[in-house]
Amino acid sequence: MEPRLPTPAGYCGWARSRHCHYPLKAAQILDLEQPDDAAQLFRDLGAELESPEAFCRTVRATVLPPPGSPADLQRVRDALAQVHEPPRAVLRRMLAGDSLAFDDMRAVLESSGFPADGHSVQLVLDVLRKTDLLQADDDQRWTLRLDVKDSVRRCLNPSLALKFQSLAEQMRAWARTQTSGFDGNGWHQRRVRCFLRFRIVSEISR
């Protein structure tokens, strides 16, 4: 069996904090989900971390819900809530199995009619990296992590059944706000039109 070194999720780095006193010392805790902090931890222990990014992914994986579970789907949905077009255009290309370098993302954005200058591409990449849904190889080609790919697909390209399920959840959430009587006009404006749209799609897909 390989030797294991148990470490807490937050480690108070000696190299950072030995000359620092409270209350500032409290801010010196290393976050093992951040590559720079993880590398610092290993330096404090007299070692070198070859791949801080891979180490951080492993740390995060220990507390993440199983891939494809309802909790995992909700986590991905929350991550994508702040991601609009054009980053989603890049994600859809990745869903097709492509791994994209910086210039590839530029081509995707350009073909989709979005700004594709260097600054815009960098903004898209920064937004996607913050979701923690991507991984990069040694050549800096980015793709979706395998453990989240199915959940991302379900969020970006939901089936008709999932769309109806989402509609039902929205209806229940809205109904819980009706504490002082039922708002018929609000029901019509917020839900009926959406339901009719799903009904039309259902008829077409038969």
Question: Do 143 and 100 sit in the same domain of this protein?
Answer: yes
pLDDT in tens, 97-150: 889 999 999 999 999 999 999 999 999 999 999 888 898 888 999 999 888 888
- Which domain covers residue 87, as residue numbers? 70-156
**Residue 41: left if φ>0, alpha if ψ -120 to 50, beta else—which one?**
alpha
Asked if residue 1 belongs to a domain, the reply is no
> First vs last Cα of the chain: how many Å apart?
56
Return the CATH number at 93: 1.10.10
43 and 115 both lie in a single domain = no
Angle (nearest 5°) at CA 141 between 153 and 93: 30
Q: Are 137 and 173 in a shared domain? A: no
Number of structural domains, the chain? Answer: 3
pLDDT digits (tens, 9 = 90+) for 160-185: 666 666 667 767 776 777 766 666 66
Q: What is the pTM assigned to this prediction?
A: 0.52
Q: Is residue 2 part of a domain?
A: no
